[in-house]
């Protein structure tokens, strides 16, 4: 394995790689939400204290 982690990347399924590439691109475009915001929405939706 090299220092860039390419061995691990190569071992991922094509589907997982595609999903990660989409996620990375969204992040680079600023299409992200803070963890706290997402968790607050889940708590409201599922009535979790």
pTM: 0.63
**pLDDT at res. 49:** 83
DSSP type of residue 12: S
Q: How far apart are the first and last CA of the chain?
A: 44
**pLDDT at res. 32:** 95
Number of domains in the chain: 1
Q: Is residue 1 part of a domain?
A: no
Q: Over the stretch 1-49, which tens digit does the pLDDT of each residue have?
A: 455 678 999 999 999 999 999 999 999 999 999 999 999 999 999 999 8
Domain that holds residue 29: 6-46
């Amino acid at each position: 394995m090299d220092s860039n982690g390419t061995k691990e990347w190569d071992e991922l399924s094509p589907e997982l790689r595609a999903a990660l590439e989409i996620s990375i691109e969204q992040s680079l475009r600023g299409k992200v939400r803070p963890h706290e915001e997402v968790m607050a929405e889940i708590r409201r939706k599922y009535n979790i204290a």
